[in-house]
Chains A and B, each alone.
Chain A
């Protein structure tokens, strides 16, 4: 049977009006009908609460005697109630909650149970009621979003990230946006277009030319800024320091001079002095720390 004929024969089956709930005609019919789910149960109480409050009815649990006097009283009560509601709604405007980190990172739990690990110097803000699951974000953060009825949106200047329930990191700087997805799927959109980022991928967006690039992530330390766990295998020294800088909040001033030195080591939340001692031992180098600056001294590797 050709495709056209196949279509034709289905079409004939659908040519007659269908009544919902009617016995399905064939397998395809029954199959499609599966989506109607006749077992679904709706929450009557919740629905009634919504409808009665939209009609400004007081919860009608007790029976009223509709004598004139009571009717008048009810109207007065209703009016007072509405006025009260109005007053409450005036003073109870949703508040904007803002969370800002300066020196130290912070693990923050949002009203829906999603968590954000905010790195230092980041800002997160959202409406207190959090009905729409929208946050505004600036800086670097790791999001672990719980699955909810609605999508979860992060707005960052002209970019927005939409997800349903997943974990991923985002990072904005003056000229670049980066997102790494650990689990699930993340959609990143600017005003014109959008891209899907899959687990293990890293998306980079250059603000200057508004272009997206997606690549498989090959850096095992992509989340080390948060976890403090580093794995280096023959990694050039300047790449090692790039990763360390993000977690230890220091600046390796002349690391690029030593990029010929390869490091194989693992660290797990050790103090910076300990990490530097290990590196010094492996590479026969010395480090001089002054405040947040680290200077590397010694012979360049060949």
Chain B
């Protein structure tokens, strides 16, 4: 049986059809959450944002007009929400020290390729340990796909400041990860 088209399903959603809504939910949930994860680099936050987008979709279904496709609507909603999260919510987050992660970053150099999972974690943690402003700018540029100019305008900073923060971020990451990078490349 061919898949019911998105637009057909969304029209049903507009009439309050929860079954159609569930179908749309399941069709894109994992793709959206994964995309969101590449933006915010935190699994819990990624799921939260994705669920918020769906909840918004249901609550505002009467006012939402899809111009292109539902899929691209959902993906750009995720992107906007993620960027807003990085801009406004991330700086407010209470810094919770994840102790095992701190040990990971300070104590370990990875030699084995099969340590890839811990290595991934270490990179994530290193990014998370950047100073707040640095991290925000790094994430916006690197994962939010924004140019320096866009970031500068958005955060009300000069392009020069954004550049400086980026080079601080990169230097710090390089310092934290240099030996791991070497090991990783040598194998």
Contacts and interface: CB of A to CB of B under 8 A. Distances in A.
Interface in A1-30: 3, 6-8, 10-11, 14-21, 27-28
Contacts of A185: 99-100, 102-103
Interface stretch (B3-11, B26-34, B65-73, B85-93): B26-34
B1 interface: no
Interface in B55-89: 55, 58-59
Interface in B118-149: 119-121, 123-124, 127, 141-143, 145-148
Contacts of B99: 151, 162-164, 166, 184-187, 196
A10 B55 CA distance: 40
Nearest to B168: A7
Given A14-B142, A64-B19, A185-B102, A34 B119 contact: yes
A12 to B, nearest CB: 11
A88 interface: no
Q: How large is the interface on A (under 10, 10 to 19, 20 to 34, 35 or more residues)?
A: 35 or more
A157 interface: no
A211 interface: no
A217 interface: no
B34 A42 contact: yes
Prevailing SS type, chain B contact patch: helix
Contacts of A31: 123, 177, 180-181, 184
Given A185-B99, A187-B99, A19 B145 contact: yes
Interface string B9-33: 0000001111101100110011001
Interface stretch (A48-56, A106-114, A226-234, A279-287): A48-56
Given A151-B96, A187-B99, A41 B30 contact: yes
Nearest to B101: A164
Nearest to B143: A20
Contacts of A32: 123, 127, 142, 173
A167 B38 CA distance: 34
Contact of A165 (B25, B100, B120): B100
Contacts of A38: 34, 38
B147 A52 contact: no
Contacts of B103: 185
Contacts of A48: 22, 25-26, 29
B125 to A, nearest CB: 9
A34 B120 contact: yes
A110 to B, nearest CB: 18
B142 to A, nearest CB: 6
Contacts of A15: 148
Contact of B166 (A14, A17, A44): A14
B111 interface: no
Contacts of B30: 41-42, 44
A50 B51 contact: yes
B120 A18 contact: no
27 contacts: A11-B166, A18-B143, A20-B38, A20-B145, A27-B181, A35-B127, A36-B37, A36-B143, A38-B34, A40-B43, A41-B30, A42-B30, A42-B43, A44-B26, A47-B47, A48-B22, A51-B54, A55-B55, A57-B18, A58-B18, A60-B21, A60-B22, A64-B19, A66-B16, A151-B98, A164-B99, A196-B102
